[in-house]
Amino acid sequence: MAEEVHIEDFIKTEKQKAFDHDFFKGAESYEKWEDVDMDAMYDGRKTFEVKVEDIRAFSEGILDDNPLFNDEAAAKDGPFGGLIAHPIFITPIAFWLTEEGPGNWIRTPGAINPGQIIEYYEQIRPGDVIHGKTGFYDKWLKRGKRYLTYVTEYYRQDDVMVAKGWGTLILPTSTGEDTHKF
């Protein structure tokens, strides 16, 4: 019989310990598909200060042992002159930034992610403080399912854009007794 695995076994960093993994908590305040403002662009209410422990924990979690993401001494001699974050590290940043306020609907319980596109412009490094701007890009119905694509621009502390991403979610029902069900 396989050994039981618990999320607590993998929570190591300050941010991981502070992150609320219960996406049902506060779900009543999430924006609804029916109500999104397609013309608005929202400044995030939170920032993500990138620490070495965040970069290393993410690399360990995705089983990537590339020294650029794990070994400060080796990374210093590498092409970027120091430790950098894995490109997909933008994903936990996105969830951290949308814990509250506009864009929090990406945490909707039961939502399905059929894909995303991410453009990277600059490396994310320890010490960077990332903030985001999020808006809605498109929404449509397909075979009775509600799709919503959003765009998020990620900036570091000097307002240089480090990445831009488009994410699509298939959202469950958001009203009535069938909330969070397909």
Domain contains 103: yes
What was the pLDDT predicted at 108?
Answer: 76
The domain that contains 127 carries what CATH number?
Answer: 3.10.129.10
Residue 105 structural domain: 22-49+88-178
Note the pLDDT of residue 178.
56
Residue at 113 is within a domain: yes
Integer Cα distance of 87 and 118 in angstroms: 9
Nearest-angstrom CA–CA distance, 71 and 110: 37
pTM of the shown model: 0.84
In a domain? residue 26:
yes
- 14: in domain: no
Q: What local confidence, expressed as pLDDT, does residue 182 receive? A: 46
Per-residue pLDDT, 73 = 94
Question: Along the 182 residues of the chain, how does pLDDT read in single tens digits?
Answer: 678 877 777 777 887 777 777 777 777 777 777 888 888 888 888 999 999 999 999 998 889 999 999 999 999 999 999 999 999 999 989 888 887 666 666 777 778 889 999 999 999 999 999 999 998 899 999 988 889 999 999 999 999 999 999 999 888 776 555 555 54
Q: Is residue 12 part of a domain?
A: no
| pLDDT score at 2 | 73
- Split into its structural domains, the chain has a count of 1
Q: Does 54 reside within a domain? A: no
